[in-house]
Structure 1
């Protein structure tokens, strides 16, 4: 699967809702072995807004945000400081070159095929008592995604978009993550949460997915504005029926899967 292009401004339009799971993930992280000055990696740092939260929580930490998108890294470097930097890295191949007290990943691994095979490399790079923590969206069977896939596979779009989009196997079940992560000398905490985001504005679910799951479609149709608009119009109409606007906004249920692994130390 080709990595999509990223638009930091579009992604950050729903930053409050997108950041909520990261706060919930950090709430279960606990102390780090070299606090108050740990070494931290944020894998898939995106626009750097959550990386800045790590630096704020551990002001003495040396924090590096890694991402494969030049556009995201350009935006992220606005948060850089004496102990906070950013570097290019692909999570599908990244092998840590040093020891970390915390490796954290927020809404990245669904873009990395076979990401469970990367866990041993990252766990081996943790200091004794260090932590690996990540969260991934678990909503691939939600209308926002199933309708997108069905439309892309329809006769009108199949030749250009068929097989382009991620399917439900982009992430694993909580039980499968637990199986992959559990081993002697580790304490593993895996759970799931469904958020009921109340979105406001016109076609807010479409606006949300334009920053994430819809990116491969937008990239594939970038050279044909008329076709791109036709797909967006058809998809928008499907979303309006699946997520009707209410008197206080549009309810957008969003399931996420979390894992925190602490090594012996």
Structure 2
């Protein structure tokens, strides 16, 4: 673990704070993203799926992209058109927005961790086009010139493979973008270091899986290290933020970004 003094002296370290699903409630809706802007968040995380008609909708979804949160556990996001999805109440009477609408709202002012979703169950995978969802996301990045303001993350190895392939195909004409592998879905253990150090540009792991060994291994490879909070296993608090700052974490996906930002400010004032 690096000391806080080293964190500042060695290259101007800071920890990016990403508002989880926008950082306010309800999750993943335009009024919440407006709050992200109004509160001067530097970054957010959001979740996207490909709709039946090929659009990128912002929605977390249930396992495999089902609509259980809307009382429809046997229906799937990617089997509905966007026009139909837009009729659902996403919270406080708001609709499920398109990623394009979020880009239009932010105008490049906020960095976005785009978690690209895909089904996990083998029998459902043929119904989903991972190459297309990645291509559509990147098409929007190009259209709105978001190249320096996003990364792609996912738990889904098929999505991540598509992202790796797309990045390789674009490398001569488009700026590099980070691909971050998410781990500890449903509190599953981390794979071996040989696996998680060999893919993408870094990893984003649950806070209850962070330790000195993981930090050392990831940093020694020059990879990025992010942390997300699984509320069932870990209480997000000022202590959490201080621990991650001391570890030298690159970014944290926080449910309470304003508290995290205030803690970070106090931390660096104390160091200076």
Query: TM-score, normalising length from structure 1?
Result: 0.29
Larger fraction in strand:
1
Query: TM-score, normalising length from structure 2?
Result: 0.29
